[in-house]
Amino acid sequence: MASNVVHLNEGNWDAEVLKSSVPVMVDFSASWCGPCKKLAPVLEKLADELAGKVKLGEVDVEESPAISAKYSVRSMPTVMVFVGGERKALHVGLTSRENLLKLLPGAG
């Protein structure tokens, strides 16, 4: 993913997501997931557009199974938004840029 998209894993999850001072949109995906590959460019563009206001991160469910299990990720792509360390929004499946923006606080 793009340079503005943070690769998330068990080692940096708390610092990058739970303790973030800005909302964090997290994409749970896998390298073999077709819909995930279609969503990736949309997320990359959002990461560039929202840099400094919203953090975008990606979790590879196979590399970080503990995070995926903790948040009950069963299908991909799954996008979650965390604010103040709490999950505030969830979308499962391929979606549009507009729908992703609606997940963010104050949007919609």
Q: Kindly report, residue by residue over 33-68, the tens digit of the pLDDT.
A: 999 999 999 999 999 999 999 999 999 999 999 999
Question: Given this model, what pLDDT does residue 1 score?
Answer: 45
What per-residue confidence (pLDDT) applies to 107?
60
**24-29 vs 78-83, strand pairing mode:** antiparallel
In angstroms, the CA 108 to CA 104 distance is 8
DSSP for 54-105, written as a single string: SEEEEEETTT-HHHHHHTT--SSSEEEEEETTEEEEEEES---HHHHHHTST
- Which of the four CATH numbers 3.40.30.10, 3.60.15.10, 3.20.190.10, 3.40.50.300 does domain 5-102 have? 3.40.30.10
- Pick the catalytic residue from 5, 26, 33, 103: 33
**At 105, is the pLDDT very low, low, confident or very high (cuts 50, 70, 90)?**
confident
Contacting residues for 90 by C-beta, under 8 A, at least 6 apart: 78, 79, 80, 81, 103
| Confidence at residue 100, expressed as pLDDT on a 0 to 100 scale | 97
DSSP classification of residue 47:
H
Active-site residue (options: 26, 36, 47, 103)? 36
**Residue holding tokens 């507009």?**
98
Q: Is 33 a catalytic residue?
A: yes
Dist. CA 27–CA 59, nearest whole Å: 6
What average pLDDT does the segment 8-30 reach?
Answer: 97
User: Is 89 an annotated catalytic residue?
Assistant: no
Which one, of 74, 51, 69, lies nearest residue 13 by Cα? 69
pLDDT of 69 strictly over 60: yes
Residue 22, pLDDT above cutoff 50 = yes
pLDDT tens-place string over residues 83-98: 999 999 999 999 999 9
Domain positions in the chain: 5-102
Model confidence at 108: pLDDT above 60: no
The percent of residues above 70 in pLDDT, for the chain, comes to 95
